[in-house]
Amino acid sequence: MSFHSLLPRPRRVEYASGQLPLDIRTSVGGEPSVARWFRRHVGAATGLPLPLAAKPTIEFRIDPHINGHRLEISPDQALVTAQHTAAAHHAAQTLRQLLPPDAFRRAPIHDEPMSLPCGVIEDHPRFGWRGCHLDVARHFVAKREVLRFVDLLAMHKLNVLHLHLTDDQGWRIEVPQYPELTRIGSWRERSMIGRGEVPEFDRQPHGGYYTTEDLLEIVSYAAEHHITVVPEIDVPGHSQAAIAAYPELGTGGPVAVWDSWGVSERILAPRRTTVDFFRDVLDHVMSLFPSPVICLGGDEVPGATPAHGALLRRLMEHVHNHGRRTSAWDDATHLVSLPAETIVLSWQDAQAVSRAAEAGNDVLLCPETHFYLDHRQSDEPDEPVPVGFLNTLENVYAYEPPTERVLGLQAQVWTEQLDSPARIDYATFPRLCAFAEVAWSSERDPAEFHHRLAHHHLPRLDAFGVEYRPLDGPYPWQLRPGVEGRPR
């Protein structure tokens, strides 16, 4: 590999002649957590012991006076100087990409020597928040697959995993104080197939949830990869699964966990007892997730009243009183005046950014038109489950974000139509590769990106085992014939 193969694109590259070979004598050292990560993952792929050493071949140093990281590779040593541990981890990801694609396998497959090209790389990210939202409520994503998703985010230098844990179609977080949330709320009797004009359903019960221990493991594993896990508990809409478990949270009679896609009319009743219930839930959430931000949704609330806005604000204030910030989708700005600490997730329109800025709120850019990765990738008739806007790889890469009061960017992976890890891979990649470069790199070139992706980065995804959408269209086994979508 060479420096022109890197993704996302680095800020500055200086080429030099020569190679640094990796062999039985290669050692690592410096910042302990990053050295351990490199030994574990690159050591597994290469079969090399990569022992820790006081004077290592590959060294990770921390220097808070620099911006980002500097990587210097000579025939004798690879020296990383990084602003902080996260920056050192980004440099470790760069080192892995400078090796052949087989460096992304979990075990060695040949005895051919590997080496690093010599030169200098200086790099730092364009935005501090480079996130990806994963909806585990519509279709449950097993813990092992969430951990794998963390690996893939880290590979692309993303640093936030937004877990959408609750919705009308399922409640995915164990709350010991309220066991019915998972006993009843975590599964539904059937699921809608596609999104045709005439609803169709399967006959397969669907469900699952994360135990306290599962979530602690996910948070810990993400932290090793310098990724913050932001949990979302959606209120006061998108709450039918909670109402199914505890009917007193809603209005009207008992209801089942919803088996359709879209927006349910069953929303939370704006009562003091509802506020108390979700304060308890949020206390448990905050005990598991050290994230400085807790998302409370606030989107798509049919029939909302000022009392629903007051409910949302009380819960936001509860989170803020615990020293955290809240985030909410931009719909919430129409529901209630948001506290200044709340981050607005701008998904609907560009005006949401200016409205939030005028109100004193920070913004995350999550535009549906560019960053919703469940939307169809082509207008070809064989594109599986063609829902939403046409959102091609090129469209994701072309997005030009404003910067005023913008904390960063976030891609969204909604899973109504993504009912398996293979379907999540297909929808997410390679569009998330384009998103990662938009979020990280200040200078971009579409043709050059496409070359790097096709010739260098997709082979890495192959080696890692990602079932991405090929650039020229789906493989036969990725098709979903007979499953209708609803293109817009």
- The residue extents of the domains of the chain are 3-123, 129-478
pLDDT at 44 over 90: yes
Long-range contacts of 387-390 (CB under 8 A, 24+ apart): 387/195, 387/416, 387/417, 387/485, 387/486, 387/487, 387/488, 388/486, 388/487, 388/488, 389/488, 390/487
The answer to whether the pTM exceeds 0.95 is yes
4 pLDDT band, cuts 50/70/90, is: confident
Q: State phi, psi for 412 to the nearest 5 degrees.
A: -120, 130
pLDDT tens digits, 400-457: 988 677 999 999 999 999 999 999 999 999 999 999 999 999 999 999 999 999 999 9
CATH topology of domain 129-478: TIM Barrel (3.20.20)
Q: Answer whether 141's CB lies under 8 Å from 23's CB.
A: no
Identical fold between 3-123 and 129-478:
no
Q: Which residues belong to the active site?
A: 300
Per-residue model confidence (pLDDT) at position 1: 65
Q: Angle, nearest 10°, between helix axes 85-98 and 143-155?
A: 80
Phi-psi region of 151 (alpha: psi -120 to 50; beta: other; left: phi over 0): alpha
Helix or strand or coil: residue 202? coil
Helix or strand or coil: residue 82? strand
Omega before residue 430 within 30° of 0, cis: yes
Per-residue model confidence (pLDDT) at position 111: 87
pLDDT at 65 over 90: yes
- Sheet arrangement for strand 58-62: 12-22, 114-123, 69-73, 78-82, 58-62, 28-30
pLDDT tens digits, 340-362: 999 999 999 777 788 888 888 99
Q: How many C-beta atoms lie closer than 10 Å to residue 226's C-beta?
A: 22
The C-alpha atoms of residue 282 and residue 289 are separated, in whole angstroms, by 10
Per-residue model confidence (pLDDT) at position 2: 74
pLDDT at 3 over 90: no
pLDDT at 303 over 70: yes
Residue 356 CB partners (closer than 8 Å, separation 6+): 330, 333, 344, 346, 362, 363, 405
Residue 216 CB partners (closer than 8 Å, separation 6+): 288
Omega before residue 339 within 30° of 0, cis: no
**Which of the four CATH numbers 3.30.70.20, 3.30.379.10, 3.40.50.720, 3.40.190.10 does domain 3-123 have?**
3.30.379.10
The DSSP result for 41-60, as a single string, is HHHHHH-----B-SS-SEEE
Give the DSSP letter of residue 210. Answer: B
Per-residue model confidence (pLDDT) at position 237: 97
Mean pLDDT calculated for residue range 133-137: 98
Per-residue model confidence (pLDDT) at position 349: 72
Q: Answer whether 225's CB lies under 8 Å from 151's CB.
A: yes
Q: How far is CA 15 from the centre of its chain?
A: 33
pLDDT tens digits, 6-18: 999 999 999 999 9
| DSSP alpha helix (H) spans, 177-248 | 180-183, 212-224, 240-245
Residue from 146, 149, 166, 157 nearest 294 by CA: 166
pLDDT at 57 over 90: yes
Mean pLDDT, rounded, of the chain: 96
